[in-house]
Structures are given as structure tokens and as C-alpha cells.
Structure 1
Amino acid sequence: MLVRGEDTTGTTSPEIGYVLQKDLLLPWRTMLGNVVLGLEVRRTPKAEAHEKARALFAEYGMTGFEDRYPGEVSGGMRQRAALMRTMVLDPQVILMDEAYKALDYPLKIELESELLRTVREAGKAVVFVTHDIEEAVTLSDRVYVLEARPGRITDEIRVDLEVDSTRIEERRLSPRFNDYYEQIWRGIGRPISTP
């Protein structure tokens, strides 16, 4: 993968952040302790690390939960903390592997909207792996369809919903949403059946 023109293959580039399907929070660390973990590894001074993390707690609506442990908060808060743990490192590219798959639908929509807002405001690039076509269309400006094995790209679809909003509900109501959905569905080799 090229980041700012430099090949990052085989490296642990600070320009790349990861958010996985499971939050992988450390149960013995507080929420704040989990969010600052990467900054500690980078040897960021404690006061600076905590200041950056607390700003994200406020931005993500989690003020007051800094001293809670992962087992004391909801799955949605845990997933927010996982995203914050990545965002506090300020990567240019964020790799997300089905990060919202295990969440209930209303929370998933809320976190997707937060992600769009955050990415737009911070000017980040996201590579989002998903099996959910709706999620792919609403979160993306470009969708790559992969065949099952060996995982080659079979189609590239540029998505323009002509909706400027970061609210997922509004993006899904775009008149163009269904066209993109059908194009991707066909791209994975599924016929569209009508009742």
C-alpha cells in the first residue's frame, strides 16, 4: 500500500491505523487506558496522551466513561473506544475490517455517521471491508467487489449519492442508492429477482 507515495508493505507505518471487528480492549485497563495505549507505545508524554484522548472522549460523547473498564460499558461504547484508540494516533489511512458487524442496527447507523463525519473533518482515507452492500454504498465513494477465492478485484464502482450529509439515513434515501446496490449485487454474481 502506498501512503503519500511511499510503499508501506511489510512495515508498521504510523500512517496506517486499524479497527477490527472485535474491539480487543484490554479488560484490565480503563477505557482511557485503552485509548492511550498506542500513544504510550510511541512514548508520548502522559499529559499529552491524556489530553488528546479526553478530547476524543468529548467528541465521541463518552465523557464520564474514562475510568470505566470495558466490562462495565456497552458494546457500542467499546467499539467507539476501539475507533478512538486508532484516531488518537492520527493515521492518514484507517483500515477497518467489518468493524460494525456485531452491533445492533441503530447503533451501527450512529457509528457509521460518526465515522463519516470524523473522516471528512480530518481528511482521512478509509479502507472498509464489509459483506454488507448497504454499508458499502453509504460509507464509500468507491467500492471494490472481490471474488471469493483468491480474492481478486472483479469490479470497481465509483459511488456518488449526490448527498452531502454524513447522516446514514439521508444517504440511504438518495435516489441513486438502489442503483448502486443493484450494481454491486450483480457484481458479486447474484441475479436481481423481482416479486
Structure 2
Amino acid sequence: MKPLLEVRDVSLSYHSISGETDALSHISFDLMPGEFLAVVGPSGCGKSTLLNLICGLLEAENGTILMDGKPVAKASSRIGYMLQKDHLLEWRSIYKNVLLGLEIRGELTKEKLSYIDEMFLTYGLDKFRNSRPSELSGGMRQRAALIRTLALKPDLLLLDEPFSALDYQTRLNVSDDIGRILKKEHKPAILVTHDISEAISMADRVIILTSRPATVAKIIPIHLDIEDRTPLSSRNAPDFKSYFNLIWKELNKNA
């Protein structure tokens, strides 16, 4: 099976009047179809920068990033990007917010509208389709933001700390919801997070970055001995603590 995404020897520096700041140095990894990767590392090491490179918002100084074997700028594959804030527009209903991307692309087809209706029903937002964002909880807003992203039928989903603004209990529930949704939709994803437990519970592999300029310290496959694994149930797996200690040790070694 060929990788969906190939990141090869990617480096980037930021340039300003005061000088040059190295952000990423010789980053390499693959993402397979249907795989969920999590990226952890010290604050300011360039995790979000990496996502910006993958989606084409930034261009690498060195190295290549390929989607389906083509440079990201030329690839026909779509990349969805879910940010820390939901960026829902208060003057639009939740339903109208979800339609926004399709409106911009001119893709309000019968098939995609039906797909949105199905997701509203499946993920518990159908009764709130005419509500304003301020009338929803933080978790429900994030669910709406995810549906808005999935409505565009992306081939890859990038998640930049999408649960960081939520309280702990809501964060656990929403990460479990979104993990289940992505599994059901068979969407490959890359999650940037500071939360080691979140990374272990959601990902198939965890990429550990060093401090800036970030390099790949280690890539750890996650194999939890648990049936019907979900993000929430993963935390009860016998090996969960061992993975936590391994990643914690590696992060502190490379901080």
C-alpha cells in the first residue's frame, strides 16, 4: 500500500530583519490511507508550522511534501484543516455555518446537502440546526466545525489542537466523539496536541518532535490490547501508562 502523504527531509526557517529562526529541520514521515497520526513536542517547536506546510499555506525551504505522489500544491487531493477555535459565524445558524465552505466552492449539490443532513442526525446536532453558535456548548460547536470540514469531503484532515479551549470533561467527550466520527468516515488525520494522553488514545502512531529547530526524535506505533478501541476506552488499556511514560521520557530528553 502506498502512503497517502509523504514528508521527506523538510526544513523551514523564518526570516526577519533581526535574523533567521530555524523552525523545522529534516522532518520525514509517511501517513498511510486511513491512518491517524498525532504530533507532540515542546511548546513553540513548530508543530503548527508543520501542518501549515502540509496544507500548502507555507512552502518548505528544503525537502518535499507529496499527496498521492504529487507535490501538495499540484495534488488534486483535498485537505481539511480544523483549527483551535471553531470560527463559527454568530450571524449564521449552525446549519448555515456548516454550508459555508460548500457555498464558497459553489458545491451545494443535492448529494452533499444530503450528506450534511445525515451527519447532523448521526452526531446529535439536528435539533440545533437553526440555533446560533452562542446557544451551543463548546463541544457541540466543535462538532459543528468538524461537520463543516467533513462536508467538503477532504482526503486528509489536519487537527491543530481542536480541543484545547474546552474544559477537561468536555475535552474528553469531544475527542471521543471526533475520534469515533473519523473512524466511521474512514478519514486519515494528523493531530497536533500538547496532551500526551490525547495523542495515545486517538492515534495509530505518535510522532515526537524535539525543541526548535524541530527534528523527529522518535515515531512510536500505538498498539493497545483492547476490543472496539475508542479514544475514551483506550485510556483503560493495560499498556496505556507504559506508552505515556515512554513519550513523557522522550519529550523531556529532547526538550
**How does the TM-score come out when normalised to structure 1?**
0.88
Among 177, 197, 202, the residue aligned to 1:134: 197
User: Conserved in 1, the CA contact under 8 Å of 2:193 and 2:199?
Assistant: yes
Equivalent residue, structure 1, for 2:70: 6
Amino acid across the alignment from 1:140: A
Do 1:113 and 1:166's aligned partners in 2 also have CA atoms closer than 8 Å?
no
In 2: Cα distance, 1:127 partner to 1:74 partner: 25
**SS where residue 157 of structure 1 aligns?**
strand
User: For 1:150 and 1:167, how far apart are their aligned partners in 2?
Assistant: 34
* Aligned partner letter, 1:44: E
Q: 2:132 aligns with which of 69, 93, 114?
A: 69
Where structure 2 has 5 or more consecutive residues not aligned to the other structure, the ranges are 1-64
Residues 123, 49 of structure 1: alpha-carbon distance in 2 compared, 3 angstrom cutoff: closer
Identify the residue that residue 115 of structure 1 maps to in structure 2.
178
Aligned match for 1:15, one of 78, 82, 86: 78
Secondary structure (helix, strand or coil) at the match of 1:45 reads: coil
Tell which deviates more after alignment, 172-181 or 143-152.
143-152
Secondary structure of the equivalent of 1:156? strand
* CA distance in structure 2 between the aligned counterparts of 1:14 and 1:106, rounded to whole angstroms: 35
Provide, for residues 8-39 of structure 1, a one-character-per-residue CA deviation record: whole Å limited to 9, x for no partner: 1x469652101111001111111011111111
Which structure has the higher relative contact order (CA within 8 Å, separation 6+)? 2
For the aligned residue pairs, the C-alpha RMSD in angstroms reads 2.0
Report what 1:173 is aligned to: 236
Match of 1:193 in 2: none
| 2:153 is the counterpart of 1:90 | yes
2:99 maps to 36
Of residues 145, 148, 151, the one that matches 2:208 is 145
Question: Measured at CA, do residues 166 and 40 of structure 1 come closer, stay the same or move farther in structure 2, by a change above 3 Å?
Answer: farther
- Which of 101, 104, 109 is the matching residue for 2:167? 104
Distance 1:46 1:69 in 2: 24
- Report the Cα offset of residue 49 of structure 1: 4.2
Opposite residue 37 of structure 1, the aligned amino acid is L
For 1:145, the aligned partner's letter is I
Letter in 2 for 1:138: S
- TM-score normalised per structure 2: 0.69
Aligned length: 190
- The one-letter code matched in structure 1 to 2:197 is E
Rounded Cα–Cα distance in structure 2 between residues aligned with 1:163 and 1:74: 31
Indicate the SS of the match to 2:190: strand
